[in-house]
């Protein structure tokens, strides 16, 4: 089977944007690909973070991935720092990656603005480590959103430069673009984010979820129920596209445009469909929280499997580089 690699940072509670944009698609991909999914804790330390919470967040992130359906029978889920070959290969890739390429990375520019007091080499080298994450397993495909395509392209360039200098070892990975709709936060103004406190967590209880939906921004031009709306500019309708069937979408679209349905009614329909999909995930997650030893066992066994693959790749790399091995 063709191999896929992707990662997720343990930076906070997993929300609807993460679930729709990545995790749900990952579960589908396990049916066709040999999948490796990673909690990328080394990526998370490139910005200031609560040190005392990192371990807890790492376990929780792996736990939620498993609860969503990324079970050990379907794929590998492990923690990046548990396989040291990731960072070893990243150093080697640093030696073939031009600084100019890294300075052009959109994410580096954005994060440098957000974290002016801590513009470190990790921020700049982030996509090099990402290339290492992918290529240490010789993954041919990387499921990403549009905002990550530039990093996958850099991974292709890194593989190309290494191969040209040291011999053909790495494939040039291709981006598998997610077709999921882009979910904005409940403010309707920015990408859903825990930092911006505009998110709906997939493990939130139904009361908290409904309160956030109830007050979420809709079409700003629809002030009264009698005003016709435009679902294409309404974030609630965008979320409907991710969780509601075609008939509901048609009914909501028509009702919004003709003022035949109010925003609260629309939100109630969405809440019902959200609850039906997320309730089983929430139940599995809470069950796993009572047995975190199982989660630790899963990530340890996955790390063992991934370490075996990574070690074989590094044997090839060290030989190609002409390093002395003992």
CATH number of 244's domain: 1.10.240.10
Q: Is 194 part of any domain? A: no
Same domain for 161 and 146?
Answer: yes
264: domain range?
206-286
Question: Looking at the annotation, which residues are catalytic?
Answer: 111, 191, 194
- pLDDT, residue 177, reads 86
Say whether pTM exceeds 0.85.
yes
- Residue-wise pLDDT tens digits, 56-103: 999 999 999 999 999 999 999 999 999 999 999 999 999 999 998 888
Triad 319, 323, 326: Cα angle to 5°: 90
Q: Is 226 part of any domain? A: yes
Same domain for 279 and 317?
Answer: no
Same domain for 234 and 262?
Answer: yes
Write out the DSSP string of 176-199.
EE--SPPPB-TTSSSB--TTTT--
Q: For residue 15, what are the β-bridge partners?
A: 201
Same domain for 221 and 269?
Answer: yes
Here the CATH number for the domain that contains residue 52 is: 3.40.50.620
Q: Is 188 part of any domain? A: no
> Cα–Cα distance between 28 and 118 in angstroms, integer?
38
At residue 317 the predicted structure's pLDDT band, cuts being 50, 70 and 90, is: very high
Same domain for 232 and 119?
Answer: no
Contact criterion met (CB below 8 Å) for 169 and 319: no
Same domain for 92 and 172?
Answer: yes
Q: Is 32 part of any domain? A: yes
Q: Structurally, how many domains does the chain consist of? A: 2
Q: Is 192 part of any domain? A: no
Same domain for 222 and 160?
Answer: no
Q: Which two tokens stand for residue 70?
A: 């990324």
Residue 116 has pLDDT above 80, yes or no: no
- pLDDT, residue 13, reads 83
Q: Is 326 part of any domain? A: no
Same domain for 262 and 300?
Answer: no
């Amino acid at each position: 089977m063709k191999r896929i690699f992707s990662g997720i940072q343990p930076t906070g509670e997993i929300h609807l944007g993460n679930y729709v944009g990545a995790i749900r698609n990952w579960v589908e991909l396990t049916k066709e690909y040999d999948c490796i999914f990673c909690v990328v804790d080394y990526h998370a330390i490139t910005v200031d973070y609560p040190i005392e919470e990192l371990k807890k967040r790492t376990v929780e992130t792996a736990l939620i991935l498993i609860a969503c359906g990324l079970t050990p029978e379907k794929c590998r889920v492990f923690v990046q720092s548990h396989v040291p070959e990731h960072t070893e290969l990243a150093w080697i890739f640093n030696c073939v990656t031009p600084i100019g390429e890294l300075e052009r990375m959109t994410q580096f520019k954005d994060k440098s603005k957000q974290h002016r007091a801590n513009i470190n080499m990790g921020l700049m080298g982030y996509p090099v480590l990402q290339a290492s994450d992918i290529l240490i397993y010789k993954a041919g495909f990387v499921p990403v959103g549009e905002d990550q395509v530039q990093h996958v392209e850099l991974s292709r360039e890194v593989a190309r430069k290494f191969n040209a200098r040291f011999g053909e070892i790495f494939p040039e990975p291709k981006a598998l673009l997610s077709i999921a709709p882009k979910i904005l936060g409940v403010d309707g103004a920015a990408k859903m984010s825990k930092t911006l406190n505009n998110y709906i967590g997939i493990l939130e209880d139904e009361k908290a979820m409904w309160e956030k939906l109830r007050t979420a921004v809709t079409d700003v031009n629809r002030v009264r129920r009698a005003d016709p709306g435009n679902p294409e500019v309404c974030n609630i309708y965008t979320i409907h596209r991710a969780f509601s069937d075609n008939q509901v979408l048609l009914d909501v679209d028509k009702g919004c445009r003709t003022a035949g349905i109010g925003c609260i009614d629309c939100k109630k329909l969405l809440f019902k469909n959200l609850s039906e999909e997320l309730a089983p995930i929430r139940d599995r997650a809470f069950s796993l929280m009572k047995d975190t030893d199982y989660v630790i066992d899963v990530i340890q066994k996955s790390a063992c499997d991934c370490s075996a693959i990574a070690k074989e790749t590094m044997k090839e790399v060290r030989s190609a580089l002409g390093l002395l091995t003992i």
